[in-house]
Amino acid sequence: MINSVNAYSAPQTGDAAAFKAASTAERTGEYPDSNLVVEFYNTNLGNYFMTADANEAAQIDGGSAGPSWTRTGNTFKSGGSTAVCRFYGTPGRGPNSHFYTVNASECAAIKQDPGWTLEGIAFYLFAPVNGQCGINQQPVYRLYNNRFAQSDSNHRYTTDPNLYAQMQTQGWSPEGIVFCAPAP
């Protein structure tokens, strides 16, 4: 998300504590968070970023992540039974970008990739089942900008099927439904 000159360090969440919280939530039905996930866009980099941490969002609004970050107005609710892993490109090796996954095997595989560093658990959502979301859930689609060769990989996440289609006409690759958020 942020260039190395103006790097912003997100709050770290320990894997063990976060996954323990997720397990407790699955047993009790009380989920660790129900914040809004807020999307930002950097007009200089052409990259997207999202966070459910209100303090992090306020810091980005205040310029601590560097210049040119603005809110897009796109949001969705967090809250669910499954931890969403948040990765950042390893400085000097990976892209200047974040990646999020609710899929445990994808999270485990990316942890082994030296180009990515696990920052922690971003928030909690639901995992799609057979590519679909359950009742009272809305799909969150993921797109990829196809800029690996330029070391400028970026993903965008949206609940808006029209925006999902529009981004594809701009050359972004569709990756389908990757999360399920609580219905608005």
User: What does each C-alpha distance from 64 to 10, 61, 89, 111, 149 come to in angstroms?
Assistant: 11, 8, 19, 27, 28
Question: Tens of pLDDT along the chain (184 residues)?
Answer: 332 222 323 333 334 444 444 433 443 344 455 689 999 999 998 999 999 999 999 999 999 998 899 999 999 999 999 999 999 999 988 888 999 999 999 999 999 999 999 999 999 999 999 999 999 999 999 999 988 867 688 999 999 999 999 999 999 999 999 999 999 8
In the three-class reduction of DSSP (H, G, I as helix; E, B as strand; rest coil), residue 15 is classed as: helix
Bridge partners for 51 per DSSP:
38
* pTM assigned to the model: 0.80
**Of 181, 184, 7, which is closest to residue 100 (Cα–Cα)?**
181
Q: In what order do the strands lie in the sheet with 82-89?
A: 98-101, 82-89, 116-125
